[in-house]
Amino acid sequence: MVTLPFEKNMYELKSKIDELKNLAIDQNMDLDKEIRQLEIKLYNMQKEAYKNLTAWDKVSIARLVERPTALDYINLIFEDFMELHGDRYYGDDSAIVGGIAYLNGIPVTVIAQQKGNNTKENIKRNFGMPNPEGYRKALRLMKQAEKFKRPVICLVDTPGAYCGLGAEERGQGEAIARNLMEMSTLKTPVISIVIGEGGSGGALALAVADEVWMLEHAIYSILSPEGFASILFKDSSRAKEAANVMKITAQDLINFGIIDRIIKEPLGGAHTNVDEMAASIKRNLEESINRLLWEPIEALLIKRYYKFRKIGKIVE
């Protein structure tokens, strides 16, 4: 069991239950009733804790190494995923995976930011921080999807676009900007789902979509809480406080009208039951893709434009 700071009590109770179970077997005792009672208690504790998560708790969940990554979901949601590589200009960025697959028999294009499940994999994936060629690969695959009238599904999970020397030399800003512009008029339905961290412009570059969803404990923000704290509080160690101030949870963002849907996670977070999580995402996708495919593309594009056009709080 993965333990987050707020799960300490639950971890202790879980250990006790396990002890009792062992005892019951070793001593051949009937402790079923006691065990059941404790399990109910644990369930209620979990339920209560997950109802009252702070923004920082969610940051911790969203960043768990054990949190399912894009490829975990892709393999469970889609059939026959075939990965396609390269941006045709410079290289192939392993922080973004993309390809074609079926969603319940419908051909779709899938593009996702990919983190690793361990250190080695994370180094290969650059911790999910794309370089410009990643965004250009994504755009190439989106244009391909447009040509063949395939809906696009993006899974967003990045701390942010990579801040390296080469990334700047190859135009990180231009690559993100172009995606924002091109996605806004892409003539095929686009759904983006923030599955973990939605970090800044690097996340938005895959999230100019007809519908933007978030998993229940995912976060989506203008900058990492650490970066925000360092800029506005001049102290990066105040990240916890920043997380609460920034309004980055799925619940905040649906209230703002910035996202369209929250997909509930299994109790204890997506990592406790990947199959259940994937099945739930799939159900949501099937319904929505079918609905979006029925809409005339011109109407869809107008809606997409105004979806972002209306965001902003001003006084005149």
| Residues in Cβ contact with 10 at an 8 Å cutoff, skipping those fewer than 6 apart | 3, 42, 45, 46, 49
- Interface with another protein (CB under 8 A), residue total 51
Among 222, 254, 262, 293, binds another protein (CB under 8 A): 222
For residue 216, give the DSSP letter.
T
Confirm or reject binding of residue 239 to another protein (CB under 8 A): no
Among 12, 18, 174, 287, binds another protein (CB under 8 A): 174
Q: Taking a C-beta distance cutoff of 8 angstroms, is the pair 178, 208 a contact? A: no
The mark string for 35-74 relative to another protein (x by CB under 8 A, - otherwise) is ----------------------------------------
Which of 283/303 has CB closer to another protein? 303
Residue type at 240? Answer: K
Residue type at 38? Answer: L
Confirm or reject binding of residue 201 to another protein (CB under 8 A): yes
Confirm or reject binding of residue 316 to another protein (CB under 8 A): yes
Strand partners, 107: 102
Confirm or reject binding of residue 250 to another protein (CB under 8 A): no
Site stretch for another protein (CB under 8 A), options 37-45, 83-91, 110-118, 155-163: 155-163
Residue in this structure with the two tokens 């894009």, named with its chain if needed: 70
CB of 205 to another protein, least distance (A): 8
CB of 234 to another protein, least distance (A): 11
Among 16, 143, 178, 238, binds another protein (CB under 8 A): 178
The token duo for 89 is 């200009």
The Cα-based distances of 82 to 49, 74, 108 in angstroms read 40, 10, 11
* H/E element, 285: helix 274-294
In angstroms, the CA 263 to CA 277 distance is 9
Among 153, 156, 204, 278, binds another protein (CB under 8 A): 204
Confirm or reject binding of residue 185 to another protein (CB under 8 A): yes
Residue type at 26? Answer: D
In angstroms, the CA 86 to CA 16 distance is 51
Q: Which among 314, 111, 86 is positioned nearest to 207, based on CA atoms?
A: 111
Confirm or reject binding of residue 96 to another protein (CB under 8 A): no
Among 177, 254, 262, 293, binds another protein (CB under 8 A): 177
Q: To the nearest 10°, the Cα dihedral for 35, 37, 43, 46?
A: -90
SS3 assignment, position 192:
strand
Which of 203/292 has CB closer to another protein? 203
Confirm or reject binding of residue 270 to another protein (CB under 8 A): no
CB of 316 to another protein, least distance (A): 5
Q: List interacting residues with another protein (CB under 8 A).
A: 161-165, 167-174, 176-178, 180-182, 184-185, 200-201, 204-205, 208, 220-223, 227-228, 231-232, 245-248, 253, 256, 258, 304-305, 308-309, 311-316
